[in-house]
Each structure stands twice: as structure tokens, then as C-alpha cells.
């Protein structure tokens, strides 16, 4: 039987890789993103997929995404919330608008995707699994990054809170904590000689991770192999948090 999955942030990076990975194991996948053309391009390369344009902070759009999933594929088993953004800036000068937007996209967006997906899973009368993409910054701060680290710290506790609330419906919720991953979000930092050297000095494996290495863990967490895992935080960071 085919599982049906939603992946947000599916236009790019780890979200696109996750959509491809879930499709490779046979899932029907809804590729959702603010970048509708990018989401459509991801979906176009998959055997059974569709795309959806949404801002993950938009309640009505999130409801519409879940409704479209049920209409197209008839069910929903997994949701992976990969959509995210980052803004750098010193906290003395950072605007409250940028702070709110970062928290809204990275934290509230995860909440909305998870809540509306879990309602559909509950209404279908079966369990499911949800993965939220946090960060190493769910655990540790970096300078000039207060809004982002606040949002990702929130994702860590959101995952635990949702895991407790959804367990009675056999819906599991886990958080992945990527380290430095080679995606458009981090490309400039990796390429910058000073910043890139700093990031690699913190990464014992000595290289950026690939989006497929996030996708592989997302696939595991949404598989039967992870059937007793919920409320977990799984770092995928080349060893950064070990040090
Ligand atoms: N790249 C890294 O080094 C790194 C490290 C830790 C965590 N992460 C997290 O991994 C996740 C995936 O990021 P990525 O590295 O693939 O970056 P990316 O920039 O390649 O992809 C992020 C995607 O999210 C989409 N998006 C942004 N705001 C959105 C919104 N409001 N609604 C819907 N979609 C929106 C973008 O359009 C983009 O397609 C993010 O949550 C990010 O914070 C990335």
C-alpha cells in the first residue's frame, strides 16, 4: 500500500531531497513551498506527486494543502516540515519585524503543518508520523543569529510537546537537527573563506552534509523502523554537538 506524504520546503535543499527520497520508497508526495515553481519542478521528477504553493505561516493555505492532499491521494500518513528561513544580524539592531517573521516561518509554520496534518491522520483513524526540521541551533546559539536560534530552540520543544499530545492517536513526532548542510540556505556561508573555515572547524567530519543525508534520516523517522521513536531530537551534524 502506498503511503501519502506532505513535504514543506520541497522546492529546494533538504526538503526537495526528502520529497525525492520518500518518493523513491514508494510514497505519493505533496511537494509544498512558497516557491511554487520550484515545488512543481521537484514534483515533476517524481512518479506520483503533486505540488502546492503555500506560505507555511498561512492557516487557510495549510488547511487547503491538507485538503488537496486528501482529495488527490485519499489519505495522509507522514508530514515533514522542512520550510525554513534565516536572517543574520546583531541583536542590538535586529528589527522586531524580522524577528517575528523568522519565528513565524520556522516555529509557527512547523506547528501549523503538524497540527493540520495530525488532524487529518486522526480523522482517518490511523496513526502517522511527523518530522520537524530543527537545527543544531535547537541546542546551541551562534552570534548574530538570535532570531533563528530562538525559532529553532522552539522547534525542539514543539516536537516534544506535540509528541505528548499526539501519542494517544499513534502519531509520532520527531525533530531532526541538521548541522551545516550544503543547500542554497548555507551556500554563501560555506563559500566564505572565514565563515566556511569556522563552520568546518566545528564539524568533526570536516565537510558539509548533503541534503540527501537529511532526507535519509527523515525517511527512517517516517518508517516502521522508527515505530517506538517519538519526541526525539536526532542531530545530523557531522559530529558538531558531540564536541
Ligand atoms: N542548510 C543548513 O545548513 C541548515 C542547517 C540547519 C537547519 N537547516 C534547516 O533545514 C530546513 C531546510 O532548509 P535548506 O537548508 O534545505 O534551505 P533552502 O533554502 O534550500 O530551502 C528552504 C525552503 O523553504 C522554503 N520556504 C521559506 N520560507 C517559506 C514559507 N514561509 N513557506 C513555505 N516555504 C518556505 C524556501 O522557498 C525553500 O524552498 C530549514 O528549516 C532550515 O532552517 C538548514
Establish if 206 belongs to a structural domain.
no
Specify the 3-state DSSP secondary structure of 139. Answer: coil
Could you give the C-alpha distances from 188 to 41, 91, 94, 102, in angstroms and in order? 23, 21, 20, 19
Q: Flag whether 116 is in a domain.
A: yes
Q: Which of 10, 13, 141 to mutate to test the pocket of ligand 1 (most atoms within 8 A of CB)?
A: 13
Q: Among 18, 83, 87, which residue has the most ligand 1 atoms within 8 Å of its CB, making it the best to mutate?
A: 83
Q: Which of 148, 166, 233, 240 is catalytic?
A: 148
Which of the residues in the chain have pLDDT under 50?
A: none
CA of residue 185 to ligand 1 center, whole Å: 6
- Residue 145, classified by CB atoms within 10 Å of its CB into exposed (0-12), middle (13-18) or buried (19+), is buried
On whether the CB atoms of residues 241 and 203 are closer than 8 A, the answer is no
CB atoms within 10 A of CB 150: 16
What letters, b where the CB count within 10 A reaches 16 and e where it falls short, cover 3-32?
bbbbbbbbbbbbbbbbbbbbbeeebbbbbb
pLDDT digits (tens, 9 = 90+) for 63-108: 999 999 999 999 999 999 999 999 999 999 999 999 999 999 999 9
Paired strand residues for 223: none
Q: Full-prediction pTM beyond 0.95? A: yes
pLDDT of 113-133, one tens digit each?
999 999 999 999 999 999 999
What burial class does residue 194 get, using C-beta atoms within 10 Å of its C-beta: 0-12 exposed, 13-18 middle, 19+ buried?
Answer: exposed
Instruction: Give which of 147, 159, 164, 161 is closest to 233, Cα–Cα.
Output: 159
The grid cell for 202 is 566545528
Q: Is 198 exposed, middle or buried (0-12, 13-18, 19+ CB in 10 A)?
A: middle
Number of domains composing the chain:
1
Residues above pLDDT 90, as percent of the chain: 99
Domain that residue 153 falls in? 4-184+211-238
pLDDT at 47 (0 to 100):
97
* 231 occurs within a structural domain: yes
Q: Quick check: is 105 in a domain?
A: yes
CA of 77 to the centre of ligand 1 (A): 22
Residue 243 lies in a domain: no
pLDDT value of residue 145: 97
CA nearest ligand 1 atom 36, residue: 9
**Is the CB of residue 180 below 6 angstroms from any atom belonging to ligand 1?**
yes
User: In this structure, what are the phi and psi dihedrals at residue 94, rounded to the nearest 5 degrees?
Assistant: -70, 135
Backbone φ/ψ region at 74: left (φ over 0), alpha (ψ -120 to 50), beta: left
Nearest in space to 119 (alpha carbons), one of 69, 73, 83, 153: 69
Nearest ligand 1 atom to the CA of 55 is 32
Taking the CA of residue 11 as reference, the ligand 1 atom at the shortest distance is: 39
List the CATH number of the domain containing 95: 3.40.50.720
- Would you say how long the chain is, in residues? 243
List 168's β-bridge partners, or say none.
Answer: none
Q: Residue 13: how many CA atoms within 13 Å on its side-chain side?
A: 22
The per-residue pLDDT for 1 is 74
Grid cell 548533503 — which residue?
A: 210
**Cβ-contact 132, 158 below 8 angstroms:** yes
Residue 205 lies in a domain: no
In a domain, 94, yes or no: yes
Residue 224 DSSP one-character state: G
Question: Could you tell me if residue 27 is inside a domain?
Answer: yes
Amino acid at each position: 500500500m502506498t503511503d501519502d506524504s506532505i513535504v514543506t520546503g520541497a522546492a529546494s535543499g533538504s526538503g526537495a531531497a526528502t520529497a525525492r527520497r520518500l518518493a523513491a520508497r514508494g510514497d505519493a508526495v505533496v511537494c509544498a513551498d512558497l516557491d511554487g515553481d520550484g515545488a512543481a519542478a521537484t514534483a515533476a521528477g517524481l512518479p506520483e506527486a503533486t505540488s502546492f504553493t503555500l506560505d507555511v505561516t498561512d492557516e487557510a493555505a495549510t488547511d487547503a494543502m491538507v485538503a488537496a492532499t486528501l482529495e488527490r491521494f485519499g489519505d495522509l500518513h507522514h508530514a515533514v516540515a522542512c520550510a525554513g528561513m534565516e536572517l543574520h544580524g546583531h541583536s542590538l539592531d535586529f528589527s522586531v519585524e524580522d524577528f517575528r517573521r523568522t519565528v513565524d516561518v520556522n516555529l509557527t509554520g512547523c506547528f501549523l503543518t503538524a497540527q493540520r496534518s495530525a488532524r487529518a491522520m486522526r480523522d482517518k483513524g490511523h496513526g502517522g508520523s511527523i518530522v520537524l526540521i530543527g537545527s543544531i541551533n535547537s541546542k546551541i546559539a551562534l552570534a548574530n543569529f538570535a532570531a533563528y536560534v530562538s525559532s529553532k530552540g522552539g522547534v525542539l520543544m514543539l516536537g516534544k510537546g506535540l509528541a505528548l499530545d499526539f501519542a494517544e492517536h499513534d502519531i509520532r513526532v520527531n525533530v531532526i537537527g541538521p548541522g551545516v548542510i550544503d543547500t542554497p540556505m548555507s551556500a554563501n556561508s560555506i563559500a566564505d573563506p572565514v565563515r566556511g573555515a569556522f563552520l568546518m572547524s566545528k564539524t568533526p567530519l570536516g565537510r558539509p552534509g548533503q541534503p540527501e543525508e537529511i532526507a535519509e534520516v527523515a525517511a527512517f523517522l517516517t518508517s516502521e523502523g522508527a515505530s517506538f521513536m517519538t519526541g526525539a531530537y536526532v542531530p545530523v551534524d557531522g559530529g558538531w554537538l558531540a564536541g
